Amino acid sequence: MSGYATGIVAILCINLIFAYAIFVTAAAGQLNLGGAGFQAIGAYTAAWLSSNAGQPVVVTIPLAMVTTALIGFLISFPVLRTRGVYMVLATFAFGQFVSGFLLRSPTFGGAIGMVVSDYVGIGLLIAAAIITTALVFFLMASRLGLAIRSIHDDEPVSTIMGVNVRAVQVTTFTIGGALAGLSGALYAHHFSFVEAQYFNSLLSIYVLLFVLIGGTQTAWGPLVGSLFFTLLPEVLRVGGSWRYVVFGVAIVAMMVLRPQGIVTRELVSRLSPRNWFGSRPAPAARMADGG
């Protein structure tokens, strides 16, 4: 692979894992706009352990994941007291707090950033992305996944059906934290450098867009969303700086044409081999809502 192609594949792998981190909570109806904060903590934990504590990658990556999982777990309690746009704002504030803290902290290099000593190659990134994708598909096919999706649709009824709504929501924040930490740690080790400015609010917005535009109903959504949004700007590169305009228009068009995301459960079920033969599920009636 050329350096350019390797760079794109690396970013794609990191974005995909990051998108799944945000997807797991979004699938249960919780929007996390502080994704960059979680990813930054993962990246800096790995960077610090690697450069300052001299730990090998087999220690830094798992410890980064444990740290962000723990933070996801702890932050879920205050965050889950809020709803809707207030939750978006609360998680956004968390992301801002983290990047602000890292920018001010001399331990983590402040605005200069940190050099990461151990390098991780593209092979490990691809393997991590594949394993993460498989695990999230596995999760969404399980009864826990069904509970996650039912909470997205109707919390009170999920409770009456016996779902421990709060426990499931805390679990999704914890899993999401771990995955965001993984994506951050891989970023740090692959690019060998971390700086607080990279983990800004725009990154949080983009990763949430990958998920919402890809679709939150199935594990296919983030896969399609992050492929689309990582590759589209590269394809549009031929158009020079107009690509940002085209990119923006593409996002607006997606929101208008397919507010429920590119991939829906109904689409997956229609394309599923199980339904290739015999009767097909009836096409969905047009629904006004997109959630």
CA count, 13 A, side-chain hemisphere, 254: 21
Q: Are 214 and 262 in contact (CB under 8 A)?
A: yes
Count Cβ atoms below 10 Å from residue 14 Cβ, excluding itself.
25
Count Cβ atoms below 10 Å from residue 164 Cβ, excluding itself.
13
Q: At closest approach, how far in Å is the CB of 218 from other proteins?
A: 10
CA distance linking residue 170 with residue 258, whole number of Å: 29
Indicate whether 245 belongs to the interface with other proteins (CB under 8 A).
no
Q: At closest approach, how far in Å is the CB of 118 from other proteins?
A: 32
Binding to other proteins (CB under 8 A) within 38-77 occurs at none
Contact string (CB under 8 A) for other proteins, positions 184-223, x = contact: ---------------------------------x------
Q: At closest approach, how far in Å is the CB of 102 from other proteins?
A: 35
Candidates 82, 122, 192, 265: give the one binding other proteins (CB under 8 A).
265
CA end-to-end span of the chain: 40
Q: Are 49 and 108 in contact (CB under 8 A)?
A: no
Q: At closest approach, how far in Å is the CB of 166 from other proteins?
A: 10
Q: 238 is written with which tokens?
A: 């031929």
Q: With respect to other proteins, which residue has the nearer C-beta, 248 or 281?
A: 281
Q: At closest approach, how far in Å is the CB of 176 from other proteins?
A: 17
Q: With respect to other proteins, which residue has the nearer C-beta, 36 or 179?
A: 179
Angle subtended at Cα 16 by Cα 31 and Cα 137, rounded to the nearest 5 degrees: 80
The backbone torsions φ and ψ at residue 194, rounded to the nearest 5 degrees and listed phi first, read -125, 140
Contact string (CB under 8 A) for other proteins, positions 129-168, x = contact: ---------xx-xxxx-xx-xx-xxx-xxxxxxxxxx---
Q: At closest approach, how far in Å is the CB of 246 from other proteins?
A: 31
Nearest to 48, CA basis, from 181, 169, 223, 228:
181
Binding residues for other proteins, rule: CB under 8 A, are: 138-139, 141-144, 146-147, 149-150, 152-154, 156-165, 217, 264-266, 269, 272, 274-275, 279-285, 287, 289
